[in-house]
Structure 1
Amino acid sequence: MRLYSRRQLISVAFSSAVLVLLLAIGFGVIRVLPGTAAKPGAQQVSRSEPFALQTNHVRSDEVLTARSGNGLSESELENIRIYENRNQAVVNVSTETVSYNWFLEPVPRPGTSGSGSIIDNRGYILTNAHVVERAFKVHVTLADGDRYDGEVVGVDPENDLAVVRFDPQGRDLVTIPMGTSEDLRVGQKVLAIGNPFALDRTLTVGIVSGLGRPVRTSNDLVIRDMIQTDASINPGNSGGPLLDAGGRMIGINTVIYSPSGGSIGIGFAVPVDTARRVVPDLIEFGAVRRGWIDIVPRQLFPQLVQYAELPVEEGILISQVVSGGNAEAAGLRGGRRNQAVRYGSTVIYLGGDIITRVDGVATRSLANLYEALEDKRPGDEVRVVYLRGGAQRETTVVLAKRPEQFQWE
């Protein structure tokens, strides 16, 4: 026979009494007296109504954005409408490169992968220069998965832009209209479509976070007037369109600022107005025809300034001028042959003029000189401020066509 302690017996007896009391109330044996179920002023809950949460939500008629019948806001419907109308014009651009084995035989290898926008129904695609850099073959994949061979028509490394063309074989292509980046405002909504991490035609939404940003690329070139956005831009988005709320292209997604390589809310796009300016040249000539001053420029650096006892620490030294060129015609002077010095493998002729400003842009570096002439064409005139013997002078130069490379010694 099992023994029970006094505490256990009391607990069992109390539990039994409570159970009997509840059963009696349930069967109506015991009635709750009127007025004893609730105290005066207390809220009574009706058994016929479900329990309601006490909330402080803003009423639907006070929400700033009116909602449609299917529960989507006007902003959401706008995003959907833009995506459905534009994603068909966004393509995947992939490349193959060539390397060589130990027997000097060419070996094809997978290259880069990015995005692009169809801008012409003849098969012209606008993308980034770094997407097709060193490409041996180019492949274009459309929204429906159809794949075409493409070719690089033209490249502008200074703005990280390129044009690729494929033969649509009579297919009716959807194109993206170009807007303008001139009147953009910080805070306005933007949408980015691309292929991040090979996830085809991904849409991200953000705002214009900043304007006029100078961004230095991996090739040590500075792209002017970049659009900063917090719309997620990841590897694979490069070359895809940045759209405004009307579905017009206002930029070409280019780079992200991220120590980890992923998006942290700081992305950049080349303004579409820059693309408008360079695309015709890329299609017609394969490169951008930019104006140039016929000189061999050398950027000042501390050792040179100290050795030559120059009057300024920053500027562009004219090492040589082209005989009969526009610089000579404008009165600019190069260095003297008998004052040649060597810095590494570079020969510098001292004694020439030092350019400090071109068309209002301070030329502290070669990048600044390229920046000042980036949107100038052959035949344009620029004002050049320079130093000669410590005295400041000015002249006007009619720009010539910039050579692809310098061959002077």
Structure 2
Amino acid sequence: MTGITVRKLLVACVLLFACVDSVETAEAQLKAPRQLQTVSGQILVPRTGSPADKGSFENSSQLPAGIYDNEGLTPDEAASVFVYESNNRSVANIATRIGAARVMFMDNPTADAGSGFVIDHEGHVLTNFHVVEDAERIQVTLYNGESYEAEPVGVDPINDMAVVKVNAPADVLYPVRLGDSSRLKVGMKVYAIGNPFGLERTMTTGIISSLNRTLPVTRARSIKSVIQTDAAINPGNSGGPLFNSHGALIGMNTAIASKTGQNSGIGFAIPVNLIRRVVPELIEHGRVIRPDSGILEVMRTEAGLRILRLDPDGAAIRSGLKGPEIRRVKRGFVIFESEDRNAADLIVGVNGKKTIEVDEFLSEVESHRPGDQIRIEVIRDGKQISIPLTLK
């Protein structure tokens, strides 16, 4: 053989052995357990003899890092479990016996149910006013299945809140942890726990759909800064808590927008910061102490609020505010009286803030305390003037 032929033969042998070695290596890799790599670079190996397509791993620590925890839960699942396990014992079922309805001369007491939650170790439970309104009997069932007769402590119909108290041992009372509703953002995950349709301590999840909604509670009054959520809220959820992902209370579920009376994806919750202000007064005084302006009745117009009636001994009269003028006309032995409403002051603002709605006026006044001085802007004789008024 020539030198060139020998060199070609040696190169061919080397390539042949390399190919054989590559085939053996590839075959060994195919026979070996398949390895999976997570985003963090962790290598995962299925159990020996366990089909890889079943996704079973030797232990929970081999689950994909950043995807599952050591119990096999995703971060979203872990947050849900944490919120529920931290708070489900705080949720109570509220059953009421309401009045006796007269039907065909027979007394037929009606029963209703809602939710509530423990707020301290003294046995105070918060719920909606409409849940216990007109109740002759209130029964609270805690997480352990024990039921207790509850005594009303205080109510605030304007903010749809009521506090009742149960005589239960402190070791079965698990108060909720209060959050801060001023830090909420649309899109945050929320968790509602309650008793829809009597199914105790049911949790539903959703997000904050909107903030600062206004929820009417009476013809002239509404609750401000209400939280809107798409978490499923159904009959029986009223008075139940709404939590954030940290397990802190951010609101109390109170209403839904629905044509059927069942969940439509639009629920409303009273913000926890309002609860913080109202509940201490309900516990201490049985009601919310609101300042009195001495203005008893107004009429809404396009231009503002026309004063119709003032308390004769109230703050408004003392400050110089004017109501309608009474005109008297004598005809023979008869004196006729007429009311000139156009002579009354027209309220257009409070403390420099434009106010043409009854609810706006009341909310601004009630944001102060008795003894505070406010300024009421009115139109009188075609001119706008500012009148100082000290609230009672």
Question: For 1:376 and 1:282, how far apart are their aligned partners in 2?
Answer: 17
Question: 2: CA distance between counterparts of 1:238 and 1:140?
Answer: 14
Out of 365, 371, 379, the residue aligned to residue 373 of structure 1 is 365
1:219–1:145 Cα change, 3 Å: farther
| Amino acid in structure 1 at the alignment position of 2:85 | E
The residue that corresponds to 1:91 in the other structure is: 92
Change (3 A) 1:60 1:324: same
The answer on 1:183 being equivalent to 2:183 is yes
How many percent of aligned residue pairs carry the same amino acid? 39
Q: Distance in 1 between matches of 2:244 and 2:217?
A: 25
Structure 2 equivalent of residue 36 of structure 1: none
Q: Distance in 1 between matches of 2:368 and 2:211?
A: 21
Shift of 1:297: 2.0
TM-score (norm 1): 0.74
Is 1:335 matched up with 2:335?
Answer: no
Distance in 2, matches of 1:320 and 1:220, equals 16
Taking only aligned residues, the RMSD between alpha carbons, in angstroms, comes to: 2.7
Counterparts of 1:378-393 in structure 2 under 5 Å?
Answer: 378-393=370-385
- Shift of the 355–260 alpha-carbon distance from structure 1 to 2, 3 Å rule, reads same
Deviation, structure 1 residue 162: 0.9
Shift of 1:314: 3.8
Equivalent AA in structure 2 for residue 61 of structure 1: V
Residue 325 (1) aligns with residue 314 (2): yes
Sort the Cα spacing of 1:221 and 1:326 in 2 relative to 1 into closer, same or farther, 3 A.
closer
> Aligned partners of 2:353 and 2:133: how far apart in 1?
30
Within 2, Cα distance between the matches of 1:96 and 1:325? 40
Deviation at 1:171, TM superposition (A): 4.4
Residue 152 of structure 1: aligned partner: 152
> Match for 1:353: what amino acid?
D
Q: How far did residue 128 of structure 1 move?
A: 0.6
1:116-145, CA deviations, whole angstroms, 9 ceiling, x for partnerless residues?
110011110111111111111101011121
User: Is 1:354 aligned to 2:346, yes or no?
Assistant: yes
Asked if 1 retains the 8 angstrom alpha-carbon contact of 2:291 and 2:369, the reply is yes
1:267 aligned residue: 267
Provide the rounded CA distance (Å) in 2 between the counterparts of 1:281 and 1:121.
17
1:263–1:338 CA distance, 2 compared to 1 (3 A) = same
Task: Return the match for 2:356 from 364, 377, 399.
Answer: 364
Q: CA deviation at 1:213?
A: 0.8
Deviates more, 1:120-129 or 1:259-268: 259-268
Q: Secondary structure at the match of 1:136?
A: strand
For each residue in 1:230-289, what CA deviation from the matched residue of structure 2 results, as whole angstroms up to 9, or x when unmatched?
111111111111111111111111111122222222111111110111111111111111
CA distance in 2, matches of 1:222, 1:138: 26
Structure 1 residues 290 and 366, CA gap change in structure 2 (3 angstroms)? same
Aligned to 1:167: 167
CA contact (8 A) 2:294 2:314 kept: yes
In 1, the alpha carbon distance for the partners of 2:110 and 2:339 equals 41
Q: Is the 8 A contact 1:382 1:399 kept in 2?
A: yes
The correspondence of residues 132-281 of structure 1 with structure 2, limited to 5 A, is: 132-169=132-169, 171-217=171-217, 221-281=221-281
Is residue 93–residue 140 contact of structure 2 (8 Å, CA) maintained in 1?
Answer: yes
Kindly state the Cα deviation for residue 198 of structure 1 after the two structures are TM-superposed: 0.9
Q: Secondary structure at the match of 2:173?
A: coil
* Runs of 5+ consecutive residues of structure 2 not aligned to the other structure: 1-26, 41-63, 330-337
How many angstroms apart in 1 are the aligned matches of 2:282 and 2:37?
55
**Unaligned runs of at least 5 residues, structure 1:** 1-45, 51-57, 302-312, 341-346, 401-409
User: How many pairs does the alignment contain?
Assistant: 328
Question: Is 1:396 matched up with 2:374?
Answer: no
SS of residue paired to 2:182 = coil
Separation in 1, partners of 2:170, 2:189:
36
Name the SS of the counterpart of 1:234 in structure 2: coil
Higher helix share: 2
Relative distance call for 1:106 and 1:152 in structure 2 (3 A) is farther
Please say which of residues 157-166 and 330-339 is displaced more in the overlay.
330-339
Q: For each residue in 1:340-368, what CA deviation from the matched residue of structure 2 results, as whole angstroms up to 9, or x when unmatched?
A: 9xxxxxx9662211111223554333233
Deviant stretches of 4+, over 6 Å: 102-105
CA contact (8 A) 1:339 1:349 kept: no
Distance 1:148-1:297 versus aligned 2 partners, 3 A rule: same
Are the counterparts in 1 of residues 299 and 308 from structure 2 also a CA contact under 8 Å? no
Structure 2 CA distance for aligned equivalents of residues 219 and 127 of structure 1: 22
